[in-house]
Structure 1
Amino acid sequence: MKEQDDFTSLVGSIYATAVDPSGFAELLALADSRLAEDSSRRRFEALLSDFEDHVLRAEALLAALPEAGQQAHDGAEHCPRFRINRQGRIFAPNLLACELLGLVEGQSLDRLELSADTLGAVQRFSRGQSQHAPVLRLMRRDTGKPILLRCEALEDGEGVQCLAVDIPWHAGAEMAMRALYGLTPSENAVLGLLVEGHSPQEAAHLRGRSVETIRQQIKAIFVKTHTSGLQDLLHLGRVVSVSSPQLDRATAVAGQTSELRLPDGRVLSYRQIGDPSGRPVIFLHGCLGGNQLPRAAEVELYRLGLRWIAPARPWHGGSCGWPGLLSHPENYGEDLAALADHLDLNEVTLVGYDAGAILACCAGEKLGSRLHKTFALAITPPMCSLRDFAAAPTQQRILALAARTSLPLLRYLSILGDRKLRLEGQSAFAQTVFRDAPADLEACRDPEVLELMWQGHFFHVGAGNDSFINDCRLIASEWRPRVTEHPAPLVFLHGREDRIVPLPRARSFAEELKANLIVVKGAGHSLPFSHWQAVLAALYP
């Protein structure tokens, strides 16, 4: 424990005196001595290596096991299903039956609030005393609407199986309606509510729209689907829902990582998720969280019909470095144009986060007429004056000053910071990175957000610390002159509670670039992870 305290103290002392040039050499020598002579540290690193080997073996074993999503399912798994034994108790309810109907294994049939006639019919049918299969009418917990279930006798004669007649509206049905009839995400959402039993008035209330708006959307759906009225449309919607494969979560988030060999020989690694035939969005990640989003956000990309393409920026992930990028960030547009050519993209929405937002602002011009719109999330404006440095939080100020004045110090800070994070582990990550940012600390209380941040760290430094070092140099550089007039609208999204880049700085910079500013309430610097709904809503309202 003493060694850990000494190491933490050492890192803290370097951070605290980073602006004192006279102390640099002494501190670096002290750090070299401590790290070189610390036999406990060497033992820790050896144990870490052994642990990582065990993790790799465990992952290999887990990968060889069949996942639940890989097992064969019939259509019944896409609708509520359960069984009733001859004693009148529920058994083997599937997940949808539990979620939508609130069923519990072993629950008495009497708890379903069925009429006496229906209860009697089920009991007679389950005992083979009647050949007429009853129909159950149960209420959904999420919508309060009825769902009908048919009954069929089990082959062993020990009861009945109940299956929903209609499959609940799902992402696969939305994709089918978009592909077959060209429905927009908003029209699909309205159709889904209608199919699940809501009236136009209820749909308007649930979607926060006027009844007239919903009626106009329904009329547009009539035209696109060539249906003659509401009943005709509902019949079509139910048939499509039944016949379309349902996308489970495992399928929806199965991203594909590929590589592109650029003309100069460098490798550009990129990840694709969402709808392969959807509207292309290129996402330039930041210094935090890697190039992934929360699972629910990645599933939502399917529903919205978005093809999310996330390249690993130079020095990150599997992409090669590019030294010339630091002095000419606008040239990254050549990589983006090559990627767009490779994927045959005719129109692109460009989204950048943190350091990636800098590249989005500088490089978007290279996409020319293909650029539909640019979004900059939690952008860090250039630090051009002492006032800018003074306004930055302590950690960012120290790193920016090191980037401007001493590359050796910046390299040492990055190495020691990485080792500190690894030593203290995931549980201390948020406090180390977001120490003075309450909104971001709150966001990291979500285990998934914290996991994304933690795994993202290794995505960023997996090939070494050059990614962190060069991001610091980019952020601290005077990159503003590299931003030319954009061929498409520029939009800033910024968290009201961002402590790393306070909102007034972002607002002033948005005015300078003539960008529209959208302020996200409650969000900090971890905006695309904690408030991804606001990001996707801004992309396609």
Structure 2
Amino acid sequence: MSDHQSEPNQDVSEALQAVVAKAYAAVAEPQSFVPLLNDLIEADAQMGGIGEAADMHFANAEAIFDKVYPLDEADYSSMLTHLETSLECDLAIDSKLRVITVNERVFETGVEAESFAPEWLFDPARIKVEQARLRKAAVGDDRIFLRLFTDPEDEAGRWFSAYRVPYSGVHIIALQAVRLRWDEKSAEAFQRAFALTETEVALTKHLVRGGSTREFAELRGRSVGTVRNQLKALQRKLAINSKEQLLLLYAGFIHSLDPPHEGDMEFEHECNFLYADPQGRLIAWEEHGDPKGKPVLFFHALEGPLFTPQVSEAARAAGLRIIAPWRPFYGETTGEKQGPQSPLLFADRLTDFLDHLGVDKCVALGTQAGTPFLAAFAQKHPERLHRAIAAGPFLPIVDSDDYRFLTTRQRTHFKISRVAPAFARVYMRAMLASMGTGEFYKFVEDYYDSCSRESATVQRPEVVRNFRKAANYVLPRGKMGPGDTMLNWSAQWGGLLEGLGDRLTLLLGDEDANTPTEFARLSAKRFGLSEPVIIEDAGSFLIEDQPEAVFEAVRSAFA
């Protein structure tokens, strides 16, 4: 070794050396990276800035994670956002019908953990039969299908699938609300099973997708009376008495074709839409809402563009077609360059993509870490936009005084991304490893420490399901997508907001922990944007918390 070269740790403070040692040791337990954040901040303060003193070691640790925890071999189906959310269902009960967990978005009142399931849950005429079926399900392998009422005033009820799952050494019953969807393969089996005509199938499909008999009549050029007679004939054929029973029969049929396997809750995801531009670059995308609705280009958060059923239904009800491309390096979407140039490069690719879809102009909607990509598209291609809307956005930290608006833990995360990007990368890699080891919840709890609204949202079963699906789709293809998100989230990207003026609307939840109202107003003034619109009873997951309000704002932007 020449005289001017030094041993790797020679110029590193003792505090930083301790962080480096712990970073290597953390390979055995990825979750142990969480407390290292504070250690690194202390080392940075002692040294007056750590610079690149330990970058080589952090890069080495990241490479070791790649070898020890290969992303393409991990199973993300058991990923948890909270230790107590291992039961991902809408209602879990034991064989004595005592409630273990409950999704309060489905059962808003009257169903409480550690209490017995109330009698009003069941059809009064079938209560003993249905309770007996549930008890039997706790010891059998078959999925059953039954109707439950979601509150004492509910007259229609909802259908649920019930199946046995292991819990604390015993088997209990998990119940999942049936979300109606039209699946062509299952529909063919439905048609064969009941000998339906093409018209009867078309009518069923229209009703399953939320349409009315009047709309079907208009589409077919028939009178409403004719369509109602067709529906009555279909009901007689199926031995049912109403449109609602037709929908429930269809739901029960498709669920009977797809029985669950213990430990397999359908957390795989396959993207059905893929566009290749003339240069061979790929954009994978999702579609939500109304396929014939007004076009909305969606820029997703870190976790991807999958919508929960409630959000997708709100988009459909608002008459919106949500076109949601996976961002660069996510899944099958190819990328060109990570970092600050990524949003601008992707913006230029989206014009051909919209042309491919036959979309001349749209409203652009972004959320959280998707905001830099939203702003880049609004900057580069204003001619393709009616308006850009940032719902629950991340906004750039311009100077040190801006940190006062953030919570303590988020301030720590943000600072480290800037002062020690090499450590931030290995921290991200440890977090990705934890998704496959069952310890991811420790990273989530750390980031959302003292953020009760956000913590509650990421624990919702339907949100956790989408996290798992996105992880199973994205991570086996590599870590560059989340890495690109981190690089752009922590950069000073305020230049992308300058000059947008009233072409960009900021929508904020009144309890947003990432972008508090005061910081949003300061940012709007700083960049010459319109006054932010504040939505009550919502946090930083604004689209999840208040989808109807968000999509009403989007719908109004087309006027």
The structural deviation recorded for 1:143 is 6.2
Q: SS of 1:540's equivalent?
A: helix
The whole-number CA distance in structure 1 between the counterparts of 2:33 and 2:58 is 9
The structural deviation recorded for 1:368 is 3.8
The whole-number CA distance in structure 1 between the counterparts of 2:32 and 2:209 is 54
- Residue 320 of structure 1: aligned partner: 334
Alignment equivalent of 1:437, drawn from 439, 451, 454: 451
CA contact (8 A) 1:352 1:376 kept: yes
Q: SS of 1:323's equivalent?
A: coil
1:46-91 deviations in whole A, cap 9, x for unaligned? 9x99884999xxxxxxxxxxxxxxxxxxxxxxxxxxxxxxxxxxxx
For structure 2, the residue ranges without an aligned partner over 5 or more in a row are: 1-24, 79-119, 130-151, 157-203, 235-242, 256-268
The whole-number CA distance in structure 1 between the counterparts of 2:422 and 2:339 is 20
Code of the aligned partner of 1:380: F
Q: SS of 1:373's equivalent?
A: strand
The whole-number CA distance in structure 1 between the counterparts of 2:51 and 2:494 is 32
1:292-327 deviations in whole A, cap 9, x for unaligned? 111232234444332221100112122112217623
The whole-number CA distance in structure 2 between the counterparts of 1:381 and 1:470 is 16
Instruction: Rate the CA distance shift 1:315–1:51 in 2: closer, same or farther, 3 A.
Output: closer
The whole-number CA distance in structure 1 between the counterparts of 2:346 and 2:62 is 40
CA contact (8 A) 1:176 1:240 kept: no
Alignment equivalent of 2:36, drawn from 5, 10, 13: 13
Instruction: Rate the CA distance shift 1:345–1:519 in 2: closer, same or farther, 3 A.
Output: same
Q: SS of 2:272's equivalent?
A: strand
Code of the aligned partner of 1:383: I
Instruction: Rate the CA distance shift 1:364–1:174 in 2: closer, same or farther, 3 A.
Output: same
CA contact (8 A) 1:436 1:499 kept: no
Code of the aligned partner of 1:259: L
In the TM superposition, what are the counterparts of 1:133-144 in structure 2 within 5 Å?
142=154
TM (norm. structure 2) is 0.57
Instruction: Rate the CA distance shift 1:34–1:296 in 2: closer, same or farther, 3 A.
Output: closer
Instruction: Rate the CA distance shift 1:406–1:240 in 2: closer, same or farther, 3 A.
Output: farther
- Residue 393 of structure 1: aligned partner: 407
- Residue 424 of structure 2: aligned partner: 410
Q: SS of 2:35's equivalent?
A: helix
Code of the aligned partner of 1:529: E
1:116-163 deviations in whole A, cap 9, x for unaligned? xxxxxxxxxxxxxxxxxxxxxxxx97469xxxxxxxxxxxxxxxxxxx
Instruction: Rate the CA distance shift 1:178–1:411 in 2: closer, same or farther, 3 A.
Output: same
- Residue 545 of structure 2: aligned partner: 530
1:174 maps to 2:205: no
The structural deviation recorded for 1:341 is 0.1
The whole-number CA distance in structure 2 between the counterparts of 1:16 and 1:416 is 16
The whole-number CA distance in structure 2 between the counterparts of 1:175 and 1:369 is 36
CA contact (8 A) 1:400 1:473 kept: no
Q: Which has the higher contact order (CA 8 A, sep 6+)?
A: 2
CA contact (8 A) 1:173 1:246 kept: no
The whole-number CA distance in structure 1 between the counterparts of 2:208 and 2:399 is 50
- Residue 351 of structure 1: aligned partner: 365
Percent identity between the two aligned chains: 19
Q: Identify the structure with the greater helix proportion.
A: 1
Alignment equivalent of 2:374, drawn from 360, 366, 385: 360
In the TM superposition, what are the counterparts of 1:236-385 in structure 2 within 5 Å?
257-287=272-302, 289-323=303-337, 326-327=340-341, 329-385=343-399
The whole-number CA distance in structure 1 between the counterparts of 2:477 and 2:74 is 20
- Residue 479 of structure 2: aligned partner: 465
The structural deviation recorded for 1:520 is 2.5
The whole-number CA distance in structure 2 between the counterparts of 1:54 and 1:514 is 41
The number of aligned residues is 390
For structure 1, the residue ranges without an aligned partner over 5 or more in a row are: 56-97, 108-139, 145-166, 183-224, 228-232
The whole-number CA distance in structure 1 between the counterparts of 2:310 and 2:375 is 28
TM (norm. structure 1) is 0.59
Code of the aligned partner of 2:308: P
The whole-number CA distance in structure 1 between the counterparts of 2:407 and 2:231 is 52
The whole-number CA distance in structure 1 between the counterparts of 2:55 and 2:342 is 33
Which of 1 and 2 has greater Rg?
Answer: 1
Code of the aligned partner of 1:466: M
CA contact (8 A) 1:102 1:141 kept: no
Instruction: Rate the CA distance shift 1:442–1:342 in 2: closer, same or farther, 3 A.
Output: same
Q: SS of 2:126's equivalent?
A: coil
Code of the aligned partner of 1:279: K
Q: SS of 2:333's equivalent?
A: coil
- Residue 126 of structure 2: aligned partner: 104
CA contact (8 A) 2:387 2:503 kept: yes
The structural deviation recorded for 1:337 is 1.4
